Amino acid sequence: MWKKKLKIAVFIISAAITFNCKGSSSERFQTDKPRIPLKEYSRNDPGEWVGLEDQHYPRVTIDNSAMENIIIRVNFPIKHEPDHYIEKIGLMDKDGNDIIVKRFNPAADYWEARFNIPFIPKGAKAFARCSLHDLWVTPLSDAHNAR
């Protein structure tokens, strides 16, 4: 009798795990097409993540013309899931090397980084890395010209 109860319990647990996984954010945000990842994504080139760009691309504010006080925000939802969050925000050079980075944990309440940098190399980009949707960038030249 206990073997039958054990089999039933294993079946119920397996069904619960399967049911919960189907609703996870990692599946919910996937597309029907095979995933061909880009090196980086942007507001104008969201690749397979089309429709998610407003929640992921980094918005840059520059407080002065010398580009010394840079604020990078991501309008990522405050109500997020433990496996879907912004891992880090920062600046990278034209070769993709980090210049400065702020890291976040899954429980963060906001997605913003402020940097005071005396010199920004030409071709630098603001970036945000999402735990599920890869690396999103905004060239600083775009942000500076948008002022």
pLDDT at 106: 85
* Beta carbons within 8 Å of 84's beta carbon, 6+ residues apart: 25, 26, 29, 130, 131, 132
Tell the CATH topology of 47-145: Immunoglobulin-like (2.60.40)
H or E stretch covering 127: strand 125-130
pLDDT at 3: 59
pLDDT at 2: 54
Q: Which residues pair with 88 in a beta bridge?
A: 103, 129
- Residue ranges for the chain with pLDDT beneath 70: 1-35, 64-68, 78-80, 142-147
Exposure class string for 38-60: b at 16+ Cβ within 10 A, else e? eebbbeeebbbbeebbebbbbbb
Q: Which two tokens stand for residue 42?
A: 């942007």
The length of the chain, given as a count of residues: 147
pLDDT at 25: 42
pLDDT at 68: 64
Q: How far apart are CA 26 and CA 113, in angstroms?
A: 25
